[in-house]
A and B are shown apart, each in its own frame.
Chain A
């Protein structure tokens, strides 16, 4: 035990002596979360559009000013002919072109169903689809207002209530997601090079001849990083709460416990990578190249998992970040208790044990 404590102490010194790394380690997540929390949203606002008005009458002008007034659109350009559409799309700034047909107002007055072409640059299907829907809704609203007497609701009316996030703020999706991605990657990267580093700079022999059991070496390696990551987690969660107004409806203690569990999961994954990799470079390629995109894309951070093809949904189960995102949103936004998230917790716990056991097994007590 005393030997083990000595080893942990040495590891602590090793890490904290490197002031520059400490600065990077704590500074980075803060900058990232501030940046992303304010900047990133998957709402579609201020789409730059162009108008081709072949009718040029009172009705089209009214409708155009309605579109301009909405927060979804920003009329960037007026076009003169159909041939211009292609070239504005190619230049890339304009995402949608509305074409009003000739005699628009006339036809509308005669109940002739005038046409509006909604042409979108569908290279981004999400923006194209959403913007088309918004444009459509504004047009239909305008028509309804024009046809007087029809404003009374009839038929089936929906009373929609949005639970857990009534204002549908995208910050509530992105802040927990960013928190998870940062914690996961920073933690995994830190430990992934810890043993690989000893191999590379040649101090591995010293470790191997020491009387410490492989299990103790690994535990001693992980321990200081748990400490570091917990501080990181506290900073990140505080920023989420105090800067971005994330609620913590559930128990703070539960949130803390789950965060520690997740940190240990990520750290032990890093250790596993470290025991496999021969050099720091390999370790980093695995932990940065190998984890970054899968964690961002498959964790449900940006893309909804339920909408993915079935094989991808199954694959998403092996991404620890997926489970933590579910847990953290449940605690912060829904006020969930342990009874609701025990399953996800158990999965993270299982993953952690698996990573640690495998690392101990893979940890070679002889140099090659």
Chain B
């Protein structure tokens, strides 16, 4: 036991003696959480729309002002020709081109029907779809008003069969993206930091030749490994704590559930991540190799965690693959507990998976660590 304490002490000293290390370990994750949480949003705003008005009628101007008034659109100063607008779209300064045809007003009054061509830059398919919905909405309400008033003038009864859908958004009434993203990004930062640190650790001693010195000491294998990993476990929990404080104080993320559950889960989860790092470290020859392998898994973990893109939309084989992804469980757990107030009963499956996963990984990595090279 005393031996173990000495090693832990040595490892801590080694980390903190390096002046540049502390800002990297604490300040960098905190800065990223503060900055990136603001950027990660699928809200589509500021759609740059060009309106080519061939009609110049009262009605076309009215419709145009509807777009200017909407918070979703930035109407670019009027373009004279469709060609001009086309070039602007090629250059990327415009997302949508609306063309009001000649005799727009006249035809609408006469036939009750007029077509408006819309061209949308669809390089980003999902964004284009949302833009189309917004445009349709503006046009629909405008044209309904006109229809209503013409019906009214002709004295016809205007009845419509209709259903009243009442949307309600639970747990996040204002659809605030930060509420959703801050806990998720925090999970990524904690995972990345601990995985990278542990993955490069033992291989570093191998590379600079100090592992042999340790191997000739009477220290036991498990003591050495625990001594190596314990400081990172502490750092992970410290970063989690600072991140939770930022989430609460800066981003006002609600903490509905019991925060102790988040800590319990994280404490166990870190065993899993550190075990993975150790496994990588044991099997790499150089820090470079360890780094690339850790990075490889990290990118897969991040992009397939359901944090940025929905898991339900993935093909079935990919959905199954995400079951191996530790980050997936952490992201789900932290959102369930913080935002929905889930209790131990709801997250017990997550806990069981993480604990068994951690057990298997750690057994494998201890077995793969050879005291004799």
- Is there an interface contact between B339 and A123, defined as CB atoms closer than 8 Å? yes
CA distance A143 to B42 in the complex (A): 30
- Is there an interface contact between A39 and B39, defined as CB atoms closer than 8 Å? no
- Is there an interface contact between A311 and B166, defined as CB atoms closer than 8 Å? no
- Assuming the contacts A124-B310, A288-B192, A289-B28, asked whether A155 and B170 have C-beta atoms less than 8 A apart, the reply is no
B115 at the interface (CB under 8 A from A): yes
- Is there an interface contact between B299 and A292, defined as CB atoms closer than 8 Å? yes
Tell me the A88-147 residues at the B interface (CB within 8 Å).
89-92, 95, 108, 111, 113-130, 132-133, 135-136, 139-140, 142-143, 146-147
Q: How far is the CB of B94 from chain A (nearest CB, A)?
A: 11
Partner-binding segment picked from A212-220, A228-236, A295-303: A295-303
- Is there an interface contact between A315 and B35, defined as CB atoms closer than 8 Å? yes
- Is there an interface contact between A309 and B127, defined as CB atoms closer than 8 Å? no
CA distance A109 to B16 in the complex (A): 74
A284 at the interface (CB under 8 A from B): yes
- Is there an interface contact between B36 and A155, defined as CB atoms closer than 8 Å? no
Partner-binding segment picked from B2-10, B117-125, B354-362: B117-125
- Assuming the contacts A115-B164, A293-B185, A315-B35, asked whether A123 and B179 have C-beta atoms less than 8 A apart, the reply is yes
Contacts of B38 on A, CB cut-off 8 Å? 308-309, 311-312
- Is there an interface contact between B309 and A156, defined as CB atoms closer than 8 Å? no
Tell me the B144-173 residues at the A interface (CB within 8 Å).
144, 146-147, 159-173
Interface size classification for chain A:
35 or more
A70 at the interface (CB under 8 A from B): no
Contacts of A345 on B, CB cut-off 8 Å? none
How many chain B residues have a CB neighbour from A under 8 Å? 122
- Assuming the contacts A124-B310, A132-B167, asked whether A36 and B303 have C-beta atoms less than 8 A apart, the reply is yes
- Among residues of B, the one whose C-beta sits closest to the C-beta of A311 is B38
- Is there an interface contact between B346 and A292, defined as CB atoms closer than 8 Å? no
CA distance A132 to B166 in the complex (A): 10
- Convert B275-317 into 0s and 1s, putting 1 for each residue whose CB lies closer than 8 angstroms to a CB of A: 0000000000111110111111011101110001110111100
B335 at the interface (CB under 8 A from A): yes
Contact partner of B124 (CB less than 8 A), chosen from A108, A304, A316, is A304
- Convert B93-108 into 0s and 1s, putting 1 for each residue whose CB lies closer than 8 angstroms to a CB of A: 0010000000000001
- Convert A146-187 into 0s and 1s, putting 1 for each residue whose CB lies closer than 8 angstroms to a CB of B: 110010011111111111111111101100000001100110
- Is there an interface contact between A128 and B116, defined as CB atoms closer than 8 Å? no
- Assuming the contacts A281-B287, A293-B188, A340-B91, asked whether A172 and B167 have C-beta atoms less than 8 A apart, the reply is no
B126 at the interface (CB under 8 A from A): yes
- Is there an interface contact between B163 and A108, defined as CB atoms closer than 8 Å? yes
B13 at the interface (CB under 8 A from A): no
CA distance A169 to B332 in the complex (A): 28
CA distance A84 to B364 in the complex (A): 42
Partner-binding segment picked from B132-140, B211-219, B224-232, B244-252: B132-140
Contacts of B24 on A, CB cut-off 8 Å? 282, 285-286, 289
CA distance A185 to B294 in the complex (A): 13
Q: How far is the CB of B282 from chain A (nearest CB, A)?
A: 14
- Assuming the contacts A281-B204, A289-B196, A307-B43, asked whether A162 and B120 have C-beta atoms less than 8 A apart, the reply is yes
CA distance A197 to B287 in the complex (A): 9
- Among residues of B, the one whose C-beta sits closest to the C-beta of A336 is B90
Contacts of A120 on B, CB cut-off 8 Å? 167-170
CA distance A190 to B129 in the complex (A): 39
- Among residues of B, the one whose C-beta sits closest to the C-beta of A161 is B119
- Is there an interface contact between B312 and A139, defined as CB atoms closer than 8 Å? no
Contacts of A46 on B, CB cut-off 8 Å? 312-313
- Convert A326-365 into 0s and 1s, putting 1 for each residue whose CB lies closer than 8 angstroms to a CB of B: 1001100110100010000000000000000000000000
Count CB-based A-B contacts (< 8 Å): 366
- Is there an interface contact between A281 and B200, defined as CB atoms closer than 8 Å? yes
B65 at the interface (CB under 8 A from A): no
- Assuming the contacts A21-B286, A115-B164, asked whether A156 and B125 have C-beta atoms less than 8 A apart, the reply is no
Q: How far is the CB of B124 from chain A (nearest CB, A)?
A: 5
- Is there an interface contact between A162 and B165, defined as CB atoms closer than 8 Å? no
- Assuming the contacts A128-B169, A293-B185, asked whether A285 and B180 have C-beta atoms less than 8 A apart, the reply is no
A252 at the interface (CB under 8 A from B): no
Q: How far is the CB of A85 from chain B (nearest CB, A)?
A: 8
- Assuming the contacts A21-B292, A28-B296, A173-B124, asked whether A108 and B166 have C-beta atoms less than 8 A apart, the reply is no
- Assuming the contacts A157-B115, A172-B123, A292-B298, asked whether A297 and B40 have C-beta atoms less than 8 A apart, the reply is yes
Greatest chain B CB density within 10 A among A113, A150, A156 is at A156
- Assuming the contacts A158-B116, A158-B135, A158-B139, asked whether A284 and B310 have C-beta atoms less than 8 A apart, the reply is no
Q: How far is the CB of B55 from chain A (nearest CB, A)?
A: 12
Contacts of A170 on B, CB cut-off 8 Å? 125-126
- Is there an interface contact between B299 and A108, defined as CB atoms closer than 8 Å? no
- Is there an interface contact between B144 and A161, defined as CB atoms closer than 8 Å? no
CA distance A159 to B95 in the complex (A): 16
- Is there an interface contact between A122 and B170, defined as CB atoms closer than 8 Å? yes
- Is there an interface contact between A308 and B288, defined as CB atoms closer than 8 Å? no
Partner-binding segment picked from B44-52, B76-84, B261-269, B365-373: B44-52
Tell me the A20-44 residues at the B interface (CB within 8 Å).
20-21, 24-25, 28, 31-32, 35-36, 38-44
- Assuming the contacts A42-B42, A133-B133, asked whether A155 and B332 have C-beta atoms less than 8 A apart, the reply is no
7 A-B pairs within 8 Å (CB atoms) are namely A121-B171, A123-B179, A133-B133, A164-B123, A168-B126, A296-B303, A312-B35
The 6 closest A-B CB pairs, nearest first, are: A168-B125, A155-B143, A122-B169, A39-B318, A162-B122, A147-B161
Starting from the known contacts A155-B143, A168-B125, 10 additional A-B residue pairs (CB-CB under 8 Å) come to A21-B286, A21-B288, A31-B296, A122-B175, A155-B112, A189-B295, A306-B48, A308-B38, A308-B41, A312-B39
